[in-house]
Chains A and B, each alone.
Chain A
Amino acid sequence: MTPQFNRDAPVLEVRSLSKGFTMHHLGAQMAAFDDISFQLRAGEFLLLKGRNGAGKSTLLRALYRSYLPGGGEILFHSSHGVIDLARAADVDVSLLRKTEMGFVTQFLTARPRVSAEALVAEPLRLSGVAQEDALEQARHWLDAFGVKRTLWAAYPTTFSGGEQQKVNLARALILPQRLLLLDEPTASLDASARAALIDRLSELKSRGTAMVGVFHHPGDVAQLIDSEIDLTPDVKSLEERENVVV
């Protein structure tokens, strides 16, 4: 069953976005990217390309407001209305991060004495889902990403890197969001976890989640990509692809 959503509805309109860093101890300015514009609609997947240092991850972080944009606009069409994330009040950004925009990295921020299932259930609980229901869904996703049942109640601080990464993905993708930012989530994943990730992303996409992603091996997600931007200076152009996912 696929819930209906309007495929033409814009989710993100980025206009002339720029970001640089002032390094006070060097008395220097470093430009990261400049004059980036693109549009993203519901269920659309945008791949950010470019050589190392081109600003791919920086752009993702600027969209999430972990980095403060230098100029331009990030118009996010949220359920509350349209807001410019480049200038939105911190509390509004906090609110949207809880329910409407997610950021997926390959790293888990484990906390002492918090079990894997509780950690995965947390985003649901914070969005208002009851404890038991949230835990049940958490176990489903731990299973889907191939985390062994015996580890669900254990503390991920002691897990191997690979297991931590699976817990992290389960946590990051448990709550369907309007906008998902992906920072190389497939790096060093084993084949079955990667397949689970692609499945979950396709499912979220078909339910209307818009995605912007950076992937070391874009081949991993080839079937999801609708459009690409190359951030390498002078290559800056937006190529439209055939929409391959129905």
Chain B
Amino acid sequence: MTLTLDAPRFVETKPLLTARNLSKSYGDVQALRDVSATVYPGEVLGIVGESGSGKSTFLRCLNLEETPDAGSYSLDLPDVQGNLFDLDRYGRRMLCATRIGIVYQNPHLGLLMGHSSSGNVAERLLVAGERRFEVLRDKARNALDASEFPLDRMDAPPIELSGGMQQRVQLAKAIALEPALLLLDEPTTGLDVSVQALVLDTLKRLQQERRITMVIVSHDLGVIRTLSDRVMVMRRGAVVEEGLADQVFQDPQHSYTQQLVHAKL
């Protein structure tokens, strides 16, 4: 049906992220079936699919929170070699602290809700070995500022903040160490439309100014369309289609993608 595309010829950089044939089952449920993805430096890959399609499981694998039953995952970075699923707990923790940032839909997963917002951001730096108080505070402030968080509230704990502000704290924590890879799991789901637009704008700005490579998972096609260069469509744990964002939305090939696109209001 679809013609197969050629391998890249003009893009000379190697992919930053290469995941090959990830499979994962929970009991009888197969959450991932042979999922592969490549993401080039500075690129934004969007992953769409309904609840239970495996998109969040895939993202948790990329954040090394989950280990698939089969498959490999590598990042093309200095000092980072081999299949990252082979790393021990300490190795994973260090890699995630220094090279991978993540923003969850639920801020409780990413933040200590009772600690100060600046402290939440600084914690990431502490894990990476920074101990000087002034440096910690400065870097936390910069990251919060880049996430467009109002600095007069930087000592307020997330529990006292609105949903949009909590997402900005998560984002600040995620980018504090200038990660090579930023993972976003439904970052704007549950926010008001106007707040959602502002968070999206911040993400777009960060992406353009810092050329951060991103993988974003959302069931909201508008969010994916706004941010992504390329899109991967998942269903029942498998990738059913992938392509340039505008192509997948304007000329979807797979019947499931057509359903999804036509269901958009």
CA gap between A68 and B229 in the complex, in Å: 16
Q: Which of A1-9, A19-27, A215-223 contacts B (4 or more CB under 8 A)?
A: A19-27
Q: Does A83 contact B (CB under 8 A)?
A: yes
Known: A22-B1, A111-B201, A113-B201. A68 touches B9 (CB 8 A): no
Q: How large is the interface on B (under 10, 10 to 19, 20 to 34, 35 or more residues)?
A: 35 or more
B11 lies within 8 A of A66 (CB): no
The A90-110 residues at the B interface (CB cut-off 8 A) are: 90-96
Question: What sequence of 0s and 1s flags, for each residue 1-23 of chain B, a beta carbon within 8 Å of any chain A beta carbon?
Answer: 11111111111000000000000
B246 contacts A66, C-beta separation under 8 Å: yes
Contact of A66 among B7, B8, B250, B255 (CB under 8 A): B250
Given A25-B258, A66-B250, A68-B3, 16 more A-B residue pairs with CB atoms under 8 Å apart are A23-B258, A24-B255, A24-B258, A67-B247, A78-B10, A83-B9, A89-B6, A91-B40, A91-B43, A92-B11, A94-B230, A95-B11, A96-B10, A111-B226, A113-B201, A122-B208
B251 adjacent to A66 (CB under 8 Å): yes
A80 at the A/B interface (Cβ < 8 Å)?
yes
Contact status A83-B10, CB under 8 Å: yes
Contacts of A112 in B (CB 8 A): 197-198, 200-201
A sample of 16 cross-chain residue pairs with beta-carbon separation below 8 angstroms, ordered by A number, consists of: A22-B253, A66-B246, A68-B247, A81-B10, A83-B10, A86-B3, A89-B7, A89-B11, A91-B43, A92-B9, A94-B229, A94-B244, A112-B197, A112-B201, A113-B201, A122-B208
| Contact pick for A84, options B4, B6, B11, CB 8 Å | B6
Which B residues from 217 to 243 make CB contacts under 8 A with A?
Answer: 226, 229-230, 242-243
Q: Does A151 contact B (CB under 8 A)?
A: no
- The distance in angstroms between the C-alpha atoms of A99 and B153, with both chains bound, is 42
Given contacts A24-B255, A25-B255, contact A66 B244 (CB under 8 A): yes
| Contact residues in A for B229 (Cβ distance below 8 Å) | 94
Query: Which residues of A126-179 are within 8 A (CB) of B?
Result: 126
Task: Tell me if B204 is interfacial: C-beta within 8 Å of chain A.
Answer: yes
A15 interface hit (Cβ, 8 Å) = no
A-to-B contact residues, CB < 8 Å: 21-25, 61, 65-71, 78, 80-81, 83-84, 86-96, 111-114, 122, 125-126
Q: Are A92 and B255 in contact (CB under 8 A)?
A: no
Q: B81 in the interface, Cβ–Cβ < 8 Å?
A: no
Residues on the A chain within 8 Å of B258, using CB: 23-25
Query: Which residue of A is nearest B226, CB measured?
Result: A111
Which residues of A have CB within 8 Å of B40?
91
Complex interface: chain B residues within 8 A of A91 (CB):
8, 11, 40, 43, 230
Q: How far is the CB of B139 from chain A (nearest CB, A)?
A: 24
Q: Which residues of A contact B251 (CB under 8 A)?
A: 21, 61, 66-68
